[in-house]
Amino acid sequence: MVTNAVSFYTSNTVDIRFSFKVSSLEGSKPLVPYSSLVDNPELALTQSNVDALSDLTLTAQIWSDSKPISSIMSTSYKSFKYQRKWNEQLSFSTDISSLPYNSQLALTLWEPQGPRKMVPYGGTTVKLFDHKDASLKRGRQKLRLWLGVQADPLSNSTTPGEYLPTSEMDRLEQIIKRLENNEIPAVDWLDNLAFRCIESVNISAGRNSASHFLFIEFPQTDFPIVYSDTEYPAYIPKRYSVPSVNPDSPIVSIHDPEFESVLESNVIERKYHTLIRGPRDRPLDKERVPNPRARDLLNQIVRFSSVQRLSAMEKNLLWEYRYYLTREKKALTKFLKSVSWDNPTEVREVASLLPKWTAIDIDDALELLGPLFPNDTVRSYAVDCLRSVSTEVLSLYLLQLVQALKFEPSSRKSYVSSNVAKSSLVNFLIERASTNESFAVYFYWYLKVESQDSNSSAQIYEPVLEKFTSTLKTTDNGTIILRHFHRHVDIVSALLNISVKLQQSKDSRPKKIERLQAYINDPRKGLLHFEPTSLFLDPSVMVDGIVAEDALVFKSTLSPFRINFRVCNQPGVMYPVLFKNGDDLRQDQLVIQIITLMDRLLRQESLDLKLTPYRILATGSTSGAVQFVPSIAISSAISDYQGIAEYLRHHNPDPNASMGIKEETMDTFIRSCAGYCVITYILGVGDRHLDNLLVAPDGRFFHIDFGYILGRDPKPFPPLMKIPIQVVEAMGGVQSENYKKMCNHCFTAFVTLRKSANLIINLFVLMDKANIPDIQLDPDKAVLKVKEKFCLELSDEEAVVHFQNLINESVSAFFPMVIDRLHNFAQYWRT
């Protein structure tokens, strides 16, 4: 007699933690019409109302009998580009053997509603065991998502993931599932043909479906796991008697902090960590060389971005081959992340290895001054590496170096004067500033603004500023610099005084201009003429007064004004400055600093994109000065000259050129458009309209007003990249050679800046605690947003294709054009 044998596992013997994979979400909510957003702006706070691929986070928890039996697991932050796809594995601490038969998985998708609030995008539940054969579900699961509600985990759930298959795609998915479970024999050539047809059916079904489906994957096993439980006897014989418990006796709780610390950490992992890094193998570590597999893994770890978290295995590998890695300068920051800083033995090992390590580059030195490395020895080593950097280059990073003082070990405790002298970073910055006036001026104002801040950082910077000014008094050159500081403060105070008066005045704009000019002409104010001094905005320029007749007040509630400083020993040469009071310029200051740095990085690769990194300096939390660059807004060029090309042709005519514009001017325009296209994309600059895109007579195109960065935008449906069609038309259109040149410059610039991604990311890490509005909204995500724009997971070729797609989408985008028209209409009625 022949019988069919059936193989399976019983669930009570499977001591493996339950896990599943979050795959993707199919479907998207219809976007809220712009008219509705205008009537109710709060709707824009919910990302899915304005973005079809809004950020979503999934939480999962196992329930049984309406009670949770596991902790809540959550997916990590992920930004979606083309589809909501996670491909992330979530593992619970609950073993399969301990899962009850009626276990169900509650899944909820959450989306941000404003900066601090999360609301449910949708929820669903799925039973873990199949009710037909009591087997643990395997393979891909397609779950119906109930929009706008959290998953209902109760036994009679109102958000079940199961649904009745009605479409052709549902029938095909059931067949695919049987194939994955080996219930249907595989025929490779036939399966490939079938999958192509199924894919086309799936795409068609996706377009016509308004439903949402969440795809997850349960682990595949060779044999099904069938639910089974151990049957215990109904009666356990009493072998001995015990005295009964008095129900009136009080319950005494004992707090055991040592036991709590054991619960918080994995004892096995701590024991393994101690064994693998113990003193027994330390002499052998110096001679240890990785095999090819370990070497490849180490090279991969070294190439990680500076914000990539290391696993325990990766940390142990770095520690094991630490002596071998001393010849690799890029490995130092990764090795230091593997160190247990609460272990004195490992800390001493670090101190002995640092002098042997190959000298690191400036991007790694800046990373060592960040929040992850509070160790004095490491930070002193980073400062020593900076000593070889010229003052000119160092000034490019001064803004972040001043912020790095917040991460000094002494600042984390109590930053008093005695601690300042011990900081190698403070002493290094003061040493450099004492010998270079340009460096000193910016250092002074950065410290001054931070020390005037209302938060606790003032306690850090006041002693540093006092030590700096005291040091300047000890040298002749320092005395001159200090004297210039006093004049700078007097000039800024006078400008602030008249700015407040203009804002409070109800006079017309011409009257305000007269008042400003009279104020400058007043000898008692000391603005018309003063002793030659360096300009606080640009210390490389010496000035000796302000031209009263050129002073101009702009139309704005804050009444910003433009003044011309007279440049010493250069008759007729002026330095125009725009002074603002009432605006925090620190975010603009950061953006311009990054643009200046990127300009230098591109020039080092012989790529001059004719950028205009104008000077900007915050002189207080709500005041500052900006270099005024003679130019015209794109909107004005269109209205006054009937287009950008006509404007450039007016200033740079050449009848022999293809568009009647000098080739040099057109080349400058093309290059600068490409440069700002790439940079504003990387920084996520928002609120781009034709009034804050400018073009100078020589063809330089540039951006101003950086009130929204890192993806923030006050307008709905902001594009990832903003290239106005008017700019493309000025080049000759999308089919022109000029447009193709611009695209090629974009690709070259993007690939070039990707090489310095870690440097730029580290600069944003150091700004973590700076009072920058768009960073403080969500400091953790700010750095990740910058990292994401570099597409480091792609090769250079793939990155170029990605950037080409972004350009194509930007040029063909219709909604930004509508927004620009509405903005112009609003501006017209305001004036």
Give Cα 810 to chain centroid, integer Å: 22
- CA-CA-CA-CA torsion sign (712, 717, 719, 720): positive
Residue 822: pLDDT band with limits 50, 70, 90: very low
More confident residue, 726 or 823: 726
For the chain, the average pLDDT equals 86
Distances (CA, A) of 374 to 215, 380, 383, 580: 43, 11, 13, 37
* pTM for the whole structure: 0.70
CA distance 103 to 395: 61
| Helical H segments across 292-331, by residue range | 292-302, 312-320, 322-325
Residue 276: pLDDT band with limits 50, 70, 90: low
Number of other residues whose CB lies within 10 A of the CB of residue 670? 26
Question: Is domain 9-226 given the CATH code 3.40.50.620 in the classification?
Answer: no
* CATH value of 277-453 in 1.25.40.10, 3.30.565.10, 2.60.34.10, 1.25.40.70: 1.25.40.70
pLDDT for res 266: 59
Residue 720: pLDDT band with limits 50, 70, 90: confident
What are the structural domain ranges in the chain? 9-226, 277-453, 633-822
pLDDT for res 677: 96
Number of other residues whose CB lies within 10 A of the CB of residue 220? 11
Residue 658: pLDDT band with limits 50, 70, 90: confident
Structural contact between residues 580 and 560, judged by C-beta atoms closer than 8 angstroms:
yes
Q: How crowded is the C-beta side of 319, counted as CA atoms within 13 Å?
A: 25
Residue 479: pLDDT band with limits 50, 70, 90: very high
Q: Is 495 helix (H, G, I), strand (E, B) or coil?
A: helix
CA distance 382 to 377: 9
Phi and psi torsions of 409, nearest 5°: -55, -40
pLDDT for res 280: 54
pLDDT for res 515: 96
Which residue in 335, 302, 295 sits closest to 319, CA to CA?
A: 335
What dihedral angle (degrees, nearest 10) is formed by the CA atoms of 645, 647, 651, 657? 10
Q: Is 492 helix (H, G, I), strand (E, B) or coil?
A: helix
Residue 83: pLDDT band with limits 50, 70, 90: confident
**Angle 365-441-762 from CA coordinates, rounded to 5°:** 25
Tokens 């240890």 correspond to: 288
Distances (CA, A) of 731 to 646, 671, 678: 11, 11, 17
Using left for φ > 0, alpha for ψ between -120 and 50, and beta otherwise, residue 148 falls in left
Helices (H) and strands (E) in the chain, counts: 32, 21
pLDDT for res 186: 66
Give the architecture (CATH level 2) of 633-822.
Answer: Orthogonal Bundle (1.10)
Q: Which two tokens stand for residue 732?
A: 């000759």
Least confident of 464-473, 604-613, 717-726, 781-790: 717-726
pLDDT digits (tens, 9 = 90+) for 300-314: 999 999 999 999 889
CA distance 18 to 91: 6
Least confident of 4-13, 112-121, 417-426: 417-426
Would 9-226 and 277-453 be classified into the same CATH topology?
A: no
Distances (CA, A) of 404 to 369, 412, 683: 6, 12, 21
